[in-house]
Structure 1
Amino acid sequence: MMNNSEEWKSLWSISSVHSPPLLLSPATTTEKIGPLIFNPSSKPETHHHLFTSPSVPHIPPPVSNLTLSRFLHTSSSVLPSTTTSIASHLSSSYSNPEQLFAYNSLQLLQCPGTDSTLAFFPIGSNLDQVGCVILSVENSQLKVIGDDGVFEPFTTKNTLNHRILKISVNPLADCDCNLGDSTIGYLLVSTTYSVHYYNIRIKTDDSGEITPILTLIADKLFKSCAVVHACWSPHLPEESLVLLDNGGLFLFDLDSCCVPSISPRLIGNKVKVLWDESTISEKGGWLSCDFSWHPRILIVAHSSVVFLVDSRSEKCTVIPLLKHATNDKFVTFSIAAHDRFYFTLASNQTVFLCDIRKPMIPLLHWAHYVHNPSYITVSSMSKLRSQCEDTTYSWASESGYFILLGSFWNSEFSLFCYGSDVSSPVSSLGCGKSFYAWGLPSDLSLVTNECRCGSCIVKEEFSKDMLPKWINWQQKKEFILGFGILDSEISSQLFEPDGFGGFTLITFTSSGNLESHRYCATWDYSKASENGHGNQALDLEESFLYETGEENYKFKKIFVYLKLDWLDGYLKSDLARILSKELVKNPDRECPKKGSFGQDFHEIICQKLKTFRSLNIHDVFSDVSLPTSIHEIALRRVWANLPKKYLQFGFSTYSNLPDVPMKLKNLPLEFLEVPCQQSHLPPFFFRSPSFRSCKWSDKKKPGNSLVGPVIPVPFLVTFHKTHMLKADNVSADFEIDQECDKVMRVANEVTGSKSDPFNDIAVSLADDNEDMFYGSQNQQKFGLYKLSMEDSVFKDEKHTNLVFRIGQKDVKEIFDSQCPLKFKFDEEGTSFGPKETMSYKLLKRQYSNFKEGFSSYQDYIKSNIH
């Protein structure tokens, strides 16, 4: 026999199956419930810009695609072992940057007995201060009052140590703003590792103007654990509940702070609860907490299970209320306002409505299509359908509820409406009554100037695909950081009753704007917007970027993006594929002819390299004078072995460089000149920059000097292999590393060193058919010194092993035999007079002082390397 109970009906998910039992029919919804779709009003007078503060960052900080430990290592000098340790102790919000924008960043608090509302939001360069403005009705218009009447918000005196993640207000009952100086509520501010409690006071002068004052009552710092969630008690206004990422629960009472001190501290009571480790051992973490129907009965949500915690006795009772499916997890939680027996929960796929009196059995659940939801709230339908001209559906507005699920980061929000069965309407529902879904989920756009027609949506999605992978589209588009629904009594002074009702929304945007919008209940979506149509594409030319400075800048800031796809391919060892793709696009592209880089290029570069055209590594060693790493010597040999037609890419004159885009004309494009007198191998050390200004003009033209290298050698090696169709899948860096192995072998030979730091890979020099170049005479010409890297976890032998020429004793005995310096004179037999001798003695004294103070050099002398 089929089970027709309410529990059986609740097993069918709304909007995922055809005609679920707990979904009212469209005809019933139309006849008895009324419209459940809310569109921004099309009237221009219903949308107002209220306030913009320069104290609010114009865009949230850029989000790194790297892991936290990798980001710390690449952006600082911290060792990998240390960064891993730091990352393991930090909050999970860092590994999921969307969690930084998971909370509603705007909170509204009506001042009792007045037509004013306080709006609280985070401000500051790091969003580490609380800002407040007064929204007041004057001549049927909503105006903003800031500090001293100017458009600057009232702020807290001190900045916090961390970015503000969540703020929440707690209004006090039976208070009056007309008493001159009164407390109307409390403010709770949460950061990653601390909670801060503020007293909200209102001062009223003789003219009736009010001034809000935020006074810090107490704060609490958690040194070892991060704060997951903090909330006020609806039963005792001075109490609050804090959940930590290790599962710790704390109850705080503001009455414990007797007299506010300079740095007040809050003393709390830890709830002694023992969690079932087997239940919460799955991947995920703690999500949220709240009070249920009793001040000591709590609901705590984990990503795998929701618990009811009864702390009325000394030993807490823990009861599982709901567990997630095998292939899903919970991501956000909220208590339902009606008598706190109900709560809502969302996973990546489903929204649940549950009753604590019916564990493990959801009353209702919907399939949703919000991408990465992080925010959920529940409220009465009457908040959305106030000021109605048509009172036909007043009953439904008073008895119905809505769940708002969304993601601030992705700018997606959906409404889920529910209530009792219209065939038996009651004002309150008991445990035995079921809720029904009122219609299918509907979208709610908090950005009123967007057009949601098909053409604009497709245009926007194509614009997102055109962005480089390392740019988040959220940073190129204004989105909502927070919102609040204005009280219906105040909203009635701004707008006339309209149709089936609506609501006034106050939004706080990523550009630091406060705006008001009027929404109306309708039967159908208004997909087209006259103001937003055609403007949905993201601006690819200019972009918002996060600015850390606090100084004012009166000029318009324009940011230019550089194409770094070649560099990205090199870092991912994928450069050959990118080059191959370019050759496929341009199959007729050939290497530049000799004259394309200037007529003198070929003669100059050949003159430089004619001595070094053999494959003998020892020829490269003859170019070594000062201490040179194994990697530098290997690069010189790679340069010498490149064919000239590819080497031409590495050197050029400014006049023959590719055309610079107009946007980069004013940017420095500086290279070093190739020396005319030196015969060293590339990249030619001890050079001077070319003489030019920061930008070229008709009066200041680039010179004709040979400059370079303008392209790194790994790119040239890869291009050579790709153009010659050498598809061996061996990266240029690997080939350079092999060259370093060979150089290290020869370095051991010519220096007489027995150590072999590159003993992991055996490389035979016989493959090169090179003549042996070591003997008793040559062993005295070079020295090998290894830099100490005791504190480093890396074994970078090719950079820490240095080869240098051991100087011979000068005829004038100016320098000793260990000195790597060598003097060259333009004319032979240069005579030394008294002035020249004095200068050399001074130079010798300075060099001696340098040697004595150079610890690495002294270590080398003590090691007796000859």
Structure 2
Amino acid sequence: MEFSEEWKSLFPIGASTVSPLLLSNPGSLGPLFFNPNPNSQTHLVSSTIPSLQLPHHLLTERYLLTSDPSILPSTASTIAPLFDSTDQLIDYNVSHFLYNRIQLLKCPDSPNVVVIFPTGVNDQNIGFFMLRVKDSVLDTRLDVKDNVFRASTGSESRILKMSVNPVTDSELGGGSDSSPVIGYLLASSRYSVCWFTVNHNLSLDSPSMSYLGISKVFKEAVVHACWSPHILEESVVLLESGQLFLFDLESQGSSKTFKGTRLRVPQNESAWFKNKGWLSCEFSWQPRSLIVARYDAIFLVDFSSKECNVTCLMKIETLRMFAPDENERFLALSRAGPDYFYFTVASTSLLVLCDVRKPLMPILQWRHGIDEPCYMTVLSLSMLRSNSKVDTFKLASDMGFCIILGSFWNSEFNIFCYGPKFPFRKGSSTSRLSKINTTFYGWELPSEINLSSRECHCGSCLFREELSKDALPEWIDLQLKKEMVLGFGILNNDLASLLCEPDEHGGFTLVRVMSSGKFELQRYHASWAMSRNLEGCHEADLCLESHLLRPMSDKENKYKSADFHCIKLDYLYAYANGNLAQDLTTKLEEVYSDDQEEAPFCLEVHESLCKKLNACGLGHSRSSPAITSIFKDVKLPASFHEVALRKLWTDLPLELLQLAFLSYSECREVIGYNQKGVPLEFLAVPDLPQLPPFFLRKPSPHSNDDIVGPVIPFPVLLVINEARYGYSDSSSDEFSVEGELGLKYKEVMQVAGEIAVSSRGPMCPDDHVVSLDDDEGEPWAGSSKPKSFSTYRPIALNFSDTDNIQGKSVYTDTAYDTFIFHVSDKSCEHTESVGEEMFDDLCPIELRFDAPVKKFEGQSLKAYELLKEQTSKWQQSFDLYKEFCIQSGFEK
């Protein structure tokens, strides 16, 4: 069946058994595989590659599961989405692998080439050097200290992308006669773009670079910046919001003027203003025509007339027949030959050749098979098959084009060749018409290109690499352990022909920079088949040295092992495994068996401690206070867990508390110093009573007279109390810290259910009941006096039982997510002079101030009335506060 050219273009090469637009005729097309020449690798120079702070390769959920065995799978699944942002399409941390780190600029008056790249500890500067042939030998032109030349951007921001615009022979003349301008450079960071001129010092035969003092800082991130192929001094910048800016550099003697124009897209272009994420931009067939790529669409934006015209050239939905994945998106954009009407765009799975004159209709498609390609360039086939001994395939080289598509992170690059239909005779009418023919065919299937010339793809080497992956920890990617290519550029034919002898079918020479910081020269030749076995790597063991995570400085590590002090966490480990009581009891028996007398602690310090403990209701020897005294101290909202801890603290005898609280000077004797004389730090005990104990405290520095603590964790104190005195309420033969806490939770919830107003109904009753009626001093329960306590559960934790069963909410526990607090009685009558109690009218919670007592009068009372009026208006308009009042039983 004969299809039209439009129908043929809808079948990607590689997606069907026989593609209608695939030519496979080596006899007329010539060799289309490119292999590195053995022994052609040449080391040029070394530079500093910054250490990369990269995240591990594991997904967040997998990392949580493998890094901490105590995290349950359901918890890991719940937490992982909080860290994974689907809106952030490009991770800024791995920007080293998204863009080519090398730009090559040819000198128009000689075959010399300037190699330009970012350098510095943060890639904040421009580094460059010149390649030339001197006395038939390759020469690397460096500065007087044999280092690469450097130019500063005037900023410490990391350079992410660079673009050069060469000056042709006809345009040569800028700058001085002895140092003409050979090209322009723009370098873009995350939020800024700066411009440079590149000069060739003819007398010294060396390059120089001048920062024009021109930089533009944007409030939004810079997505892409590129030069115009039509007008030498013009460039365009694309921001992440889709805004376009055109900049013009004009030379006027020794001065530089800088003009920036925002290119405005009409507001009625609704498709343009969708928040989908912008990708790249390129100039099209005329100076005021731009191709702008978004992750879901490609647009042609024409500013040549008074009104801007926007045309959609390609949508991601157009590729759905052979790219059904919902996450399919465009990833790379490039201009293409034979003229500026054509462009190529790569999506997650497809590579498409398009024509701006045929919107929404691909010219040619491939299924590329590359994981997340981020780099793409289009070259003439004659550039890759230059300097050949025979010209049998010269016509095909002149008419054909090559697309290099790949990923620096995955070290995977493929070459896609295309051109007009062959064969035809040179000089025939078909040959002449082919230059304007818009039908292109894929020339052979895509082929791999090994840019590093270090990786062999034979079965043995691939198998050895897979075994190496298994030997590494799960969070380390094999790529970070190998030497990989961070950037490359292909030399012009004039210079390449001076460096090597002609190949049988031609080839090319590239400059590459490796992750170790080495710049290398490598020759490739056109071949009929892909070489699988490479000398020097086929039989060698896979090197797993870290080339990217090495330190930036060559200095020795200033931190010695003696600077670190190890802390034993055996008690913490036992507590986490539920064995604290068993392990601690065994050790206490060994200590008691020694029957040694210990020197008493400072009595003055302990007298002061006793006063503070008694003020908190602690320090009762052998007898515990009624639970009502614990609730009396609940002023600010406290969870049932906190109240239960307060009760357990009051149950501890004074002699045991003296072990947990010490003077700061006593810490030296009890805990001891490490080798450097630095004691462990603890928080100071405040003067105001706080439970459980001393909750709100100021950190160090301390004075030697300060009382600090607790220096022993509460679960340890609880086990020691049971081992020494045996006052546990648990009926079980084996003491458990969790069991003791559970009993107190039930006791606290039972009493709270009697004294507190709750919108959730009564607390869960249990057979272990303690009522406030048992306390003769405070007959609250059953009294006609209004209840002065209220319970409240935050709205964020209000899930239904169905949600909990279906796994839609976090784990809930009444002991932790339900709060109780004392409600102020609102009995304050304002007189001419009042104290802090007047603030009780502002909220249902009884407030306490850590400040000296102060009376308010006169202007202070007027200010208070104004504050009260404003607060009242806010409370009436804030729905969450009103819901809080309803749930807690408090009515304003």
Match of 2:45 in 1: 51
- Deviation of 1:3 after TM superposition, in Å, equals 4.6
TM-score between the two structures when normalised by the length of structure 2:
0.63
Is the contact made by 2:628 and 2:772 (CA closer than 8 Å) also made in structure 1?
Answer: no
Q: In structure 1, which of residues 412, 436, 442 is the aligned counterpart of residue 447 of structure 2?
A: 442
CA distance 1:739–1:398, shift in 2 (3 Å): farther
Question: CA–CA distance in 1 between the matches of 2:740 and 2:418?
Answer: 67
CA separation of 1:859 and 1:524: change in aligned 2, threshold 3 A: farther
Corresponding position of 1:181: 179
**Whole-Å separation in 1 of the counterparts to 2:760 and 2:543:** 52
User: C-alpha separation between the residues in 1 aligned to 2:251 and 2:623?
Assistant: 84
Aligned partner (choices 505, 509, 513) of residue 504 of structure 1: 509
Structure 1 residue 137: deviation in Å?
A: 2.8
| Deviation digits for residues 708-735 of structure 1 (CA, Å, limit 9, x no counterpart) | 989999xxxxxxxxxxxxxxxxxx9999
Deviation (angstroms), 1:237: 0.2
Partner SS state of residue 11, structure 1: coil
Would you say the 8 A contact 1:108–1:117 is kept in 2?
yes
- Structure 1 residue 171 displacement after superposition: 0.8
In the alignment, which residue of structure 1 is the partner of 2:129? 133
Name the CA distance, whole Å, in 2 between partners of 1:735 and 1:147: 75
2:381, 2:422 → 1: CA distance? Answer: 15
Listed as ranges, the matches of 1:579-594 within 5 Å are none
What code does the residue aligned with 1:314 have? K
Count of residue pairs the alignment pairs up: 670
Q: Aligned to 1:237, what secondary structure does the other structure show?
A: coil
1:37 maps to what in 2?
A: 33
Are the aligned partners of 1:629 and 1:798 in contact in 2 as well (CA < 8 Å)? Answer: no
Per the normalisation by structure 1, the TM-score is 0.65
* Shift of residue 371, structure 1, vs aligned partner: 0.2
Measure how far apart 1:773 and its partner are: 11
**Residues of 2 paired with 1:278 and 1:685: CA distance?**
70
Q: CA deviation at 1:427?
A: 6.1
Q: Is the CA contact 1:506–1:516 (under 8 Å) kept in the aligned structure 2?
A: yes
Equivalent residue of 1:214, what SS? strand
1:215-294 matches, cutoff 5 A = 215-223=211-219, 225-255=220-250, 266-274=259-267, 276-278=269-271, 281=274, 284-294=276-286
1:186 is paired with a residue whose SS is: strand
**Which residue does the alignment assign to 1:148?**
144
Task: Indicate whether 1:545 and 2:549 are aligned.
Answer: yes
Q: Deviations over 1:391-416 (max 9, x none)?
A: 32222222211011111222211110
1:526–1:741 Cα change, 3 Å: farther
2:851 to 846, 858, 863: 858
CA positional deviation for 1:347: 1.0
CA shift in 2, pair 1:318/1:157, >3 Å: closer
1:244 maps to amino acid: L
The 8 Å contact of residues 146 and 153 in structure 1, kept in 2 or not, is answered as: yes
1:5 aligned partner: 4
SS at match of 2:285: coil
Question: For the Cα contact (< 8 Å) 1:131–1:154, is it kept in 2?
Answer: yes
Query: What is the distance in 1 between the residues matched to 2:387 and 2:640?
Result: 77
Contact 1:343 1:354 in 2 (8 A): yes
> Aligned in 2, Cα 1:306/1:368: closer, same or farther, shift over 3 Å?
same
Q: Which residue of 2 aligns with 1:201?
A: 199
Q: Which amino acid is 2:277 matched to? A: G
Deviations 1:639-659 (A, max 9, x none): 99xxxxxxxxxxxxxxxxxxx
Shift of 1:737: 11
Is contact 1:187–1:198 with CA below 8 Å preserved after alignment? yes
| Structure 2 partner of 1:390 | 390
In our comparison, the structure showing a higher alpha carbon Rg is 2
Q: 2:206 aligns with which of 207, 210, 219?
A: 210
Mapping for residues 360-759 of structure 1, pairs under 5 Å: 360-424=360-424, 426=431, 429-465=434-470, 467-533=472-538, 537=542, 539=544, 544-545=548-549, 551-554=553-556, 600=587, 602-604=589-591, 678=656, 689=671, 693=675
Which letter does structure 2 place at the counterpart of 1:389?
A: K
Query: Is the partner of 2:17 in helix, strand or coil?
Result: coil
TM-aligned CA distance change 1:299 to 1:498, over 3 Å? same
Question: One-letter code of the match for 1:417?
Answer: C
**Which of 310, 316, 334 pairs up with 1:318?**
310
User: Per the alignment, in what secondary structure is the counterpart of residue 148 of structure 1?
Assistant: coil
Partner Cα distance (2:358, 2:266) in 1: 22
- 2:294 corresponds to which letter in structure 1? H
Distance in 1 between the 2:185 and 2:480 partners?
A: 30
CA distance in 1, matches of 2:676, 2:101: 44
Contact kept in structure 1, 2:191 and 2:222, CA below 8 Å: yes
| Amino acid corresponding to residue 59 of structure 1 in structure 2 | L
| Aligned 8 A contact 1:201 1:213 in 2 | yes
Aligned match of 1:123: 119
Alpha-carbon contact 1:241-1:249 (below 8 Å) kept: yes
Q: Which amino acid aligns with 2:504?
A: G
- Indicate the residue corresponding to 2:338 in structure 1: 338
Q: Which amino acid aligns with 1:484?
A: G
Q: Tell me the CA shift for residue 294 of structure 1.
A: 1.3
Residue in 1 aligned with 2:604? none
Q: Deviations over 1:298-355 (max 9, x none)?
A: 2222222222222211012222222223443322111114221111111111111122
The DSSP-based 3-state class of the residue aligned with 2:395 is helix
Aligned equivalents of 2:434, 2:630: Cα separation in 1: 90
Q: Structure 1 residues 773 and 453 mapped into 2: Cα distance closer, same or farther (>3 Å)?
A: farther
Aligned partners of 1:613, 1:258: CA distance in 2, in Å? 96
Partners of 1:6 and 1:358 lie apart in 2 by 12
Q: 1:619 to 1:330 in 2, by over 3 A?
A: same
Offset of 1:266 from its aligned partner? 4.2
- Residues 61 and 736 of structure 1, relative CA distance in 2, 3 Å threshold: farther
Question: Helix, strand or coil for the counterpart of 1:17?
Answer: coil
CA distance in 2, matches of 1:710, 1:513: 58
How far did 1:694 drift?
Answer: 8.7
- TM superposition shift of 1:123: 1.6
Give CA deviations for 1:274-313 in whole Å, capped at 9, x if unaligned. Answer: 57324774x7322222222211222222222222222211
Partner SS for 1:267: strand
Deviation, structure 1 residue 12: 2.0
* Corresponding residue of 2:801: none
Tell me, yes or no, if the aligned pair for 1:252 and 1:267 is still in contact at 8 Å: yes
The answer as to whether partners of 1:53 and 1:513 remain within 8 angstroms in 2 is yes
What is the root-mean-square deviation in Å for CA atoms of aligned residues?
5.5
Secondary structure, in 3 states, of the residue corresponding to 2:500?
Answer: coil
Q: 1 CA distance for matches of 2:593 and 2:766?
A: 28
SS at match of 2:498: coil
Q: How much identity, in percent, do the aligned residues show?
A: 35
Deviation at 1:636, TM superposition (A): 7.1
Distance between the aligned counterparts of 1:191 and 1:391, measured in 2?
Answer: 45
1:599-658: CA deviation from partner (whole Å, max 9, x where unpaired): 7455459999xx999999979989x9xx99979968979999xxxxxxxxxxxxxxxxxx
Unaligned runs of at least 5 residues, structure 1: 68-83, 560-566, 580-589, 641-676, 696-706, 714-731, 790-794, 804-854
The alignment status of 1:113 with 2:120, answered yes or no, reads: no
SS at match of 1:181: coil
Task: Give me the whole-angstrom Cα distance separating, in 2, the residues matched to 1:738 and 1:543.
Answer: 54
Candidates 153, 159, 172, aligned match of 2:155: 159
Matches of 2:647 and 2:526 in 1, distance apart?
72
1-side partners of 2:852 and 2:816: how far apart?
20
